[in-house]
């Protein structure tokens, strides 16, 4: 197994569950006792609220994507972390807003980051997060090809987020994303898939909106969580009802961690 990981998380359009998956990956790595640094090329602060320690990439500099010096300045904290990871074995997760997918891939390609990671004893994984949204699936096809061309030593990974709907059913017709079947089969070849289990958004979304990280939520006093949910009469749940919802969501988080660990090929951990 690799000594460390560099995981880049992309989502060609918003609302696909990228931040949730980033938090999951960070939680999995930390639960294995790995040192981890999280970087974010996103203007939103949600991830920092959930994970606490997140290094921001200056996205203003990413607007000057045709200026290589601007990109070098923007990604200098990440470059330093990659250099240190080769000797320290600390894993890195990079969360990227859909706006910057292509810019980030171009920078990683120009810096031969996939080779740097491989030569340094690490594994580079590029996770592409999508739902059944047609535009998102079409973008997944495009980004998968970009990743394979730009970062041949990295492993592309599809994260199929069923939280928002069924994705890629067995009888999926690639024609709905304007792909020939042969092209679609070629694109899928060798790509690992993760299907995150579905949960009723009426249960999960209040937790997400509250900005609670997964660990804090699972360990919280149900009485403090009760105001997050309202019953049919618009009243907050009682403590016992909130505890039941908390257990259900905790089981869902555990299933997602198991599925993600298997798809990422992480070694087993307690």
Per-domain residue ranges for the chain?
Answer: 4-199
- With CA atoms as reference, report the closest residue to 31 among 250, 252, 266, 222: 266
* Superfamily designation of domain 4-199: P-loop containing nucleotide triphosphate hydrolases (3.40.50.300)
- With CA atoms as reference, report the closest residue to 105 among 155, 56, 148, 49: 148
pLDDT (0 to 100) of residue 222:
96
pLDDT (0 to 100) of residue 2:
61
pLDDT (0 to 100) of residue 269:
54
Query: Tens-digit pLDDT profile for the chain (270 aa)?
Result: 568 999 999 987 777 888 889 999 999 998 888 899 999 987 667 787 788 788 988 888 888 767 878 889 999 999 999 999 999 999 999 998 888 888 899 899 999 999 999 999 999 999 999 887 788 888 888 888 889 999 999 999 999 988 766 777 778 888 888 888 888 888 788 788 898 888 888 899 898 888 888 989 999 999 999 999 998 888 999 999 999 999 999 999 999 999 999 989 887 655
Its pTM stands at 0.90
In the sheet with 155-161, reading across from the earlier edge strand, the strands are: 55-56, 36-41, 91-96, 4-10, 122-130, 155-161, 192-196
How far apart CA 71 and CA 232 sit, in angstroms, is: 51
pLDDT (0 to 100) of residue 210:
86
- With CA atoms as reference, report the closest residue to 85 among 133, 34, 41, 49: 34
C-beta separation of 209 from 188 below 8 A: no
Q: What one-character DSSP code corresponds to residue 93?
A: E
Two tokens, residue 247:
């257990």
Residue where the block lists tokens 């920092």? 48
pLDDT (0 to 100) of residue 26:
92
Q: What one-character DSSP code corresponds to residue 174?
A: G
């Amino acid at each position: 197994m690799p000594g460390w990981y560099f995981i880049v998380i992309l989502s060609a359009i918003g609302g696909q569950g990228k931040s949730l998956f980033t938090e999951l990956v960070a939680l999995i790595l930390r639960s294995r006792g790995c040192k981890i640094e999280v970087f974010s090329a996103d203007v939103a602060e949600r991830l920092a609220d959930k994970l606490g320690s997140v290094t921001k990439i200056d996205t203003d500099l990413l607007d000057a994507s045709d200026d290589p010096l601007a990109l070098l300045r923007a990604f200098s904290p990440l470059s330093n972390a990659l250099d240190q990871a080769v000797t320290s074995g600390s894993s890195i997760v990079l969360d990227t807003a859909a706006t910057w997918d292509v810019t980030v891939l171009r920078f990683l390609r120009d810096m031969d980051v996939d080779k740097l990671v491989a030569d340094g004893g690490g594994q580079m994984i590029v996770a592409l997060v999508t739902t059944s949204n047609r535009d998102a699936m079409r973008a997944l096809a495009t980004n998968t090809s970009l990743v394979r061309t730009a970062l041949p030593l990295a492993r592309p990974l599809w994260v199929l987020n069923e939280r928002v709907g069924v994705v890629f059913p067995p009888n999926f017709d690639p024609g709905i994303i304007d792909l020939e079947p042969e092209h679609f089969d070629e694109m899928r070849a060798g790509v690992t898939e993760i299907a995150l289990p579905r949960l009723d958004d009426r249960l999960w979304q209040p937790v997400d909106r509250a900005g609670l990280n997964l660990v804090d939520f699972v360990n919280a006093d149900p009485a403090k969580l009760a105001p997050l949910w309202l019953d049919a009469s618009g009243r907050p749940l009682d403590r016992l009802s909130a505890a039941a919802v908390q257990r259900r969501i905790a089981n869902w988080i555990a299933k997602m961690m198991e599925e993600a660990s298997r798809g990422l090929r992480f070694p087993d951990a307690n």
